[in-house]
Chains A and B, each alone.
Chain A
């Protein structure tokens, strides 16, 4: 599905991403973890087209998407959320999710100007789709009102619903648990699994190790823009290079235990 090979991104002399290679298979949940500044979000921004990589190759469903503009990559079946929440605050909740229908909803100017039944049907289709995904993410609260007026955790749900309304084959979630409380994180875990059950592959950046260990099929670990590990949660947990990156050299048994216990927030 998604293949990233030897991805490189440099800002001047700083190598934010330095030869990253990983794959996300169909119906797979792959987490990308690493200390702050390891290049996780930079790599995501290359994959989604927001940064133009300085080297390497990215293919999505067999098509080369390296350096294409984000909207064209989205049109290939990729959808994403943002680390620092990019909902359309001054639009209604429903309109936010309707944004996801932009790529597949068909409307002709002629139908729009004359308000033909075809126009009405397509508008109703967009609204129904928005409701469907808001139900799916379990949004509590007012759907006709502005997103700005919702609490933070609900805004996160709206953002995920918006990404799902795109009907993607691959979903990139950038720190979806950031700022969520304990019970919201538990619900997020269930939500991610239900998204996978729809047949959507997921790539996830996350700092919450509990969530990552629980939900991932595979974990890719980055440090200083380089990949230092790629494997199942169990493999990664016991990888000495990973322990070193997180805890520094010569980690004692006690600290290793902390990684096992898996809570870093």
Chain B
């Protein structure tokens, strides 16, 4: 048995494939985001674009859980809420600057990830989905009933990201854009590491992963905590943007929309999920002219897209590139 790998000639990648696999694509996407305010900078447009950017962060966080690790989470808004409330409470009740709340938010959401993940991650697929759905509602109902969280009216008067005075929507948009761009990059890098591979092994076959020494429970917990932190930090941005938060922002619909962005874009694919999130958050605004029919059209468009392209708008590439597959000294 000779060990000569067969490097069979295969047809070269198409232009579209090469474009989609370009390493500088992330910079191009960031450039689009940077240029956008020069095209349209009305307060209304800035508001929508900022929301879209925050939504990208949420989707990228959920992508770690659902896309990389294959854990169907129907209560992701819980982490969004924990982040927003932690930050909002510390900023209003204790007058912390918003940026100073970030370490506390990371700790709080990671803790929430452990508390919610602890009992649920022993379950598989359908059961996990149902239990996360329950936890998502529990978090919202707690926020709705506690006095410290302001009950149904929530918290208001949350300062901006850089204090109360710098409230220019364009400045906030750029700040959010840069923060989210870094968050997207870091999530993608996690996905391309030993840990990210372990997530995919768990998604593909838990038993085989376990046999190769992957402690599946801990690995799933790591995905859950990472997703929770990303979701929580999106919550900080959300609180800073609106300066007021209430339980009504963290309903099941919000969880479902984020999941929709992940599935629509392409599970496990960073560019896919970013595009999915932008589409989900901008499409209803673009369709605003249709007035009462817009959510009807929105729904129909989603159904059509999933039928035409079930793998997502920009699916995770299945082949490895020559760069990642090369031995030392080969590339």
Contacts and interface: CB of A to CB of B under 8 A. Distances in A.
Interface stretch (B32-40, B58-66, B185-193, B287-295): B185-193
Contact of B211 (A80, A98, A124, A146): A80
A144 B325 contact: yes
Nearest to B200: A91
Interface size class of B (residues with CB under 8 A): 35 or more
Contact of B201 (A50, A75, A88): A88
A88 B204 contact: yes
A232 interface: no
B307 interface: no
A168 to B, nearest CB: 10
Contacts of A138: 1-3
B319 A102 contact: no
A71 B320 contact: no
Contacts of A146: 318-319
Interface residues of A, number: 59
A122 interface: yes
Interface stretch (B161-169, B212-220, B239-247): B212-220
Interface in A183-202: 187, 190-191
A145 interface: yes
A100 interface: yes
Contacts of A139: 5
Contact of A94 (B10, B193, B207, B325): B325
Interface of B: 1-3, 5-6, 8, 10, 186, 189-190, 193-195, 197-198, 200-201, 204-205, 207-216, 318-322, 324-328
Interface of A: 48-50, 69-72, 74-75, 79-80, 82, 86-92, 94-95, 98-103, 105, 107, 109, 112-113, 115, 119, 122-124, 126-128, 131, 134-136, 138-146, 162-163, 166, 187, 190-191
Pick the 6 closest A-B CB pairs, nearest first. Answer: A74-B213, A103-B213, A88-B204, A86-B208, A135-B3, A144-B320
